[in-house]
Amino acid sequence: MCGIIGYVGKQDAMPVLVGGLRRMEYRGYDSAGIALVSGGHTAVVKRKGKITNLADALTAKKPTGMTGIGHTRWATHGVPNEVNAHPHQAGHITIVHNGIIENYADLKERLIKDHGRKFESETDTEVLAHLISVKREKDESLEAAVLSALLEVEGTFAVLVLDERDPDKIVAARRGSPLLVGIADDAIFLASDATAVIGHTDRVVYMEDDEIAICTPGKYEIIDFKAQHKRHEEQQIKLELKAIEKAGYDHFLLKEIMEQPKTIADILRGRLDLDAGTSHLGGLNTDPKFYQQMTRFLTIGCGTAYYAGLLGQYLLERMTGLPVDVEFASEFRYREPVVNGHTLGMIVTQSGETADTLASLRELKRRGTRTLGLVNVVGSSVAREVDGGVYLHAGPEISVASTKAFTAQVIAQILVGLQIGRSRKLSATDGKAIVRALEALPAQVQSILDQHERIKAISAKFADAKNVMYLGRDALYPVALEGALKLKEISYIHTEAYPAGEMKHGPVALIDEELPIVYFHPKNDLYDKTRSNLEEVRARGGRLIIVGTEGDESLKEFSDDVIYIPDAHAYTQPILANIPMQLFAYYVAVSRGTDVDQPRNLAKSVTVE
């Protein structure tokens, strides 16, 4: 999703802007640009493609200025090219924008008809620039013009606005797309996320929807759309620079896969109670009586977060005895949801900014549903709007493909399941067994990661595959779905995932000697059932990659490509089974030469519908 950066202060703004854009590359983009104001003039430099193209152009042009804005664009309206890249200008006004102006066509028609405005690009953003420019002709201040323009806008925005006649000011506004204000003694920073300001300041405030920030060197003021002054509590960013660097790995994705023993330990720290066989979660903000009266979970998420919720369904139903419904946020938000005061809405999201997920949260709250967020990014919109929450503590997840966050999202649901389950049907004995299983996870995950060379060798055999099928049963079916998504999104190989028992109802027709099939067959209660499905696959000649339990030598009769995971509790086994799939997808993608950390067409946080 688009990345936005702004700086107004006493230093040359360009290095701050370019550095901030580089920090936000992970969000996914197809063009980039900056604007600098100096001496009553605005210099705009923008290029299609990677930030290196922009940096080369800046080296040649050497624009200067102590006030500036920058943008990485993930195309919504208009193809990725230099004309459609941000910043966009209209007269003295220059803007960058993340979001969608839904009524841009009507506004554009009016600007052309009533004000004779001419447009260069296909973007909705350029329409907003002209609207602000028209308002500025009669409004006494830039902030008044921005407010007046945004009151006519339908849609979402995080927008930074410059007026070259007011060179020491940036006016910012947000609705539906993230925007924070970074505070330093002699400068103000504006950014889509905290990674862009690390190293410049650790003091931030997070803007809320329908707010405007008026920023000058070292000072800012926030007003709402009724022009009322707003105050937000300053937060301290706890991220360090090394958390957003590759630390010697070839890709962020490999770093984030390999650091899971640490991130698992981080999410568990201080939250396990072995004696009572339960968890301690500080942020639930829920009266335990609610857990006695609640009648169901409704879990909502997108992509990997949705699959984590699907896996949680198998675990939470067993831990709590409550039904768990799991919904794609993009579907849920437009249905007539059947929820009531006894439903616990669980919002699963790494970024906390996914538009469909955020909209679903707001729909649940409108219907009086209690909400619980399982979120990684501190201070994100979802984290600030849910009734209670469990932070994932997975650290910044820079690679577009989500790996360590998936693991943390599943663990967070087990922690919630312990807390609620132990207040309902889960016995202390069963709770203790789950706590022990969680405590064993970091070392068990490490033992799988130590097999990375073997997994790399197996992946090399399948780098030219055109299709891959993933089959798993029960709690391993969501793992099959997640494994299929991982391979699909970073290697561009077509993948499908099915419950193993479902294969004979159609998908078995796809199986031939060419088709690689990832088959989850660890030791568990359904082992014998899963074996018979495996026999059906072998009988039709599929190229099997089997994930099984250490010591199960029988699997070698079916394939040379068996990846072993440690024997584990039924609730942590799916987490372990997913780890080799992350590495498998990574190595296949690397051998195919795709852009592993920023796969084509994808964005890290989809803040538009």
Applying CB under 6 A, the residues found at the interface with ligand AGP are 302-305, 349-351, 354, 357, 400-402, 489, 605-606
Residues taking part in catalysis = 2, 604
Handedness of CA 207, 213, 218, 219 (dihedral sign): negative
Closest approach, Cβ 79 to ligand AGP, in A, equals 23
Q: Please report, to the nearest 10 degrees, the dihedral formed by the alpha carbons of residues 59, 62, 65, 67 taken in order.
A: -30
Closer to ligand AGP by Cβ: residue 354 or 572: 354
For the purposes of burial, counting CB atoms within 10 Å of the CB of 258, is it exposed (0-12), middle (13-18) or buried (19 or more)?
buried
Phi-psi region of 456 (alpha: psi -120 to 50; beta: other; left: phi over 0): alpha
For 207, which DSSP code? Answer: P
- How far is 419 from 16, CA to CA, in rounded Å? 45
CB atoms within 10 A of CB 81: 16
235: which residues sit within 8 A by CB, 6+ positions away? 203, 204, 205, 206, 378, 379
- How far is 392 from 32, CA to CA, in rounded Å? 31
Nearest to 5 by CA among 47, 67, 63: 67
285: which residues sit within 8 A by CB, 6+ positions away? 387, 388
Distance of CA 401 to the CA centre of its chain: 9
Q: Which DSSP helix (H) or strand (E) runs through 45?
A: strand 41-48
For the purposes of burial, counting CB atoms within 10 Å of the CB of 59, is it exposed (0-12), middle (13-18) or buried (19 or more)?
exposed
593: which residues sit within 8 A by CB, 6+ positions away? none
Please give the structure tokens belonging to residue 346: 């669980």
- How far is 375 from 354, CA to CA, in rounded Å? 11
Closer to ligand AGP by Cβ: residue 29 or 564: 29
How many helices (H) and strands (E) in the chain?
18, 27
